[in-house]
Amino acid sequence: MASKLKDYFPLIRERDEVLAEITKSRTLYREFKGWTKQQQEEFLDICTGVKGLKLLYDGFFKEVMNPEYVPERLSDFLSCLLCQELKVVAAIPSDSARIAGESVLLGMDIVVELADGSIANVEMQRTGYLFPGQRGACYSADLLLRQYKRVRGRKEHFSYQDVKSVYTIVLFEKSPAAFHAYPDIWYHFFRQKSDSGLELELLQKYLFIPLDIFTENRQNRNIRSKRDAWLTLFSSDDPETVTELIEAYPEFKEIYEEGYEICRNMEKVMGLFSKELYLLDRNTEKLMFQEMQKESEELRIKTEAMRLENEKMYQENEKMHQENEKVRLENEKMYQENEKMRQENEKIHQENEKMYQENEKMHQENEKVQQENEKIQKEREKIQKENHKIHQENEELRQEMENQYHQSFINTVAILRGVGLSDEDIVGKLCRQYQLEETQAKEYL
């Protein structure tokens, strides 16, 4: 495989040759100097084969894929995209009343009539618009209305059967975010279908191809089909990929040669490049405007949602405030009751403190009384012991006196007998002298 595109296309000029031609013309040089350094390098890389051609640039595409000069190329391209044999009959002039005046913002836009009467609109978006589904539906409706008017104007006896399908085919160089949710899919074909299974010929069909996702997926594989080849032709400016493509499909070499022939016309190619830069800037502005509109709408929706949420929160807060006020009043009442209880408890505490002090005093006095009682008890025990001792002594003395008393009676009886008195006289004498009963006196005889 050749290492440079110039080996395949000798008509490619060297960098010095391109710069020399630009500097010869004040107009071209002024335009060239008006570009950024990056844009200048990109232009020189295209013209000198450092990078492949940007064949999806409007000027390049309409030259190499012109349905008036080479209809077979566009027919083959559309046949590969839609997986059916198609033949381009003629190009249809772009509608000057394009919806929303967006025609200047497209990288490429071409409308063709096919052999079966169908219409296909092929457009290239450098940077994908927001809302691609809604926008595609609007342009499809525009195509269908244009075809309806064309058929109606051509035939005296009009029938809806004469209205054929319309294809809206959009190629994104940089696809919208929605497509990146499917990073392995780069072919999205849409048609209307009933959920009941009923088959009706509904005419609007759509094909969306994100070339950036296609490029990412083909980096790890070779070109597998003619459809891959066409998309590689329009999506890759890598010289190695370009040489791989023209070796696998030599018919594409003629397309590149025509493109590099355009590059030899410096005034024309710089005009094409300037137009693309202008379209890219306008497209970026449009995208930014749409994003700002979207963000503004999202902000409006969020603001409204926040307003409703805040209103709901305000109502809830108001309800909570009322409940809190009710709780506050209850707490205030409870606080007053607690304060009253606290004062009563304080009073009880003081009384308890006073009672405690009195109890303490009584305890001390009781302690003192107990000590006195213990002392008295000891004295009492001592007295009891003394009394017991006295009692014993008294008892001994009583016993002794009683013994002496009895002995005195015995001695008296002995004396009276000694003087010769009779027992009867002794008893009488004892009774009279000691005041004894007669029975008592007889005990001592």
Tens of pLDDT along 302-354? 767 887 887 888 888 888 888 888 888 888 888 888 888 888 888 888 888 88
pLDDT of residue 393: 85
Q: Check pLDDT > 80 for residue 77.
A: yes
pLDDT tens digits, 123-176: 777 666 667 888 878 878 888 888 888 878 777 778 888 888 889 999 888 888
pLDDT of residue 280: 58
Question: Among 46-50, 129-133, 364-368, 424-428, which is the least confidently predicted range?
Answer: 129-133
Please check whether residue 289 lies inside any domain of the structure: yes
**Based on the structure, what is the number of domains in the chain?**
1
Please check whether residue 69 lies inside any domain of the structure: yes
Token pair for 171? 């190629």
**Spatial distance between the Cα atoms of 156 and 135, rounded to a whole number of angstroms:** 33
Token pair for 356? 């405690």
Q: How many residues does the chain have?
A: 445
Beta strands at 204-210 and 188-191: parallel, antiparallel or unpaired:
antiparallel
pLDDT of residue 435: 81
pLDDT of residue 196: 92
pLDDT band with cut points at 50, 70 and 90 for residue 104: very low
Q: Which residues of 370-392 are buried (b: 16+ CB within 10 A; e: fewer)?
A: eeeeeeeeeeeeeeeeeeeeeee
Query: What is the average per-residue pLDDT within 72-80?
Result: 91
Please check whether residue 365 lies inside any domain of the structure: no
Question: Whole-model pTM above 0.85?
Answer: no
pLDDT of residue 298: 65
pLDDT of residue 4: 77
pLDDT of residue 402: 80
Token pair for 72? 């077979």
Please check whether residue 426 lies inside any domain of the structure: no
Token pair for 205? 């069909």
Q: Check pLDDT > 70 for residue 96.
A: no
pLDDT band with cut points at 50, 70 and 90 for residue 377: confident
Please check whether residue 97 lies inside any domain of the structure: yes
Q: Which residue has the higher pLDDT, 244 or 219?
A: 244
Task: Residue 265: give the domain boundaries.
Answer: 5-293
What number of CA atoms fall less than 13 Å from residue 61's CA on the CB side? 21
Angle, helices 251-263 vs 266-418, to 10°: value is 100
Pick from 156, 162, 126, 6: nearest CA to 54: 126
Please check whether residue 364 lies inside any domain of the structure: no
pLDDT of residue 206: 92
Q: Terminus-to-terminus CA distance in the chain, angstroms?
A: 181
Mind spelling out the 3-state secondary structure of the chain? CCCCHHHCCCCCCCHHHHHHHHHHCHHHHHHHHCCCHHHHHHHHHHHHCCCCCCCCCHHHHHHHCCCCCCHHHHHHHHHHHHCCCCCEEEEECCCCCCHHHCHHHCCEEEEEEECCCCEEEEEEEEECCCCHHHHHHHHHHHHHHHHHHHHHHHCCCCCHHHCCCEEEEEEEEECCHHHHHCCCCCCEEEECCCCCCCCCCCCEEEEEEEHHHHHHHHCCCCCCCHHHHHHHHHHCCCHHHHHHHHHHCCHHHHHHHHHHHHHCCHHHHHHHHHHHHHHHHHHHHHHHHHHHHHHHHHHHHHHHHHHHHHHHHHHHHHHHHHHHHHHHHHHHHHHHHHHHHHHHHHHHHHHHHHHHHHHHHHHHHHHHHHHHHHHHHHHHHHHHHHHHHHHHHHHHHHHHHHHHHHHHHHHHHHHHHHCCCCHHHHHHHHHHHHCCCHHHHHCCC
Given a contact cutoff of 8 angstroms between Cβ atoms, the answer to whether 144 and 203 are in contact is yes
Query: What is the average per-residue pLDDT within 227-256?
Result: 91
pLDDT tens digits, 277-296: 655 555 554 554 455 455 55
**Spatial distance between the Cα atoms of 411 and 431, rounded to a whole number of angstroms:** 15
Distances (CA, A) of 281 to 45, 108, 287, 364: 21, 15, 10, 107
Please check whether residue 129 lies inside any domain of the structure: yes
Please check whether residue 64 lies inside any domain of the structure: yes
Average pLDDT over the chain, rounded to an integer: 82
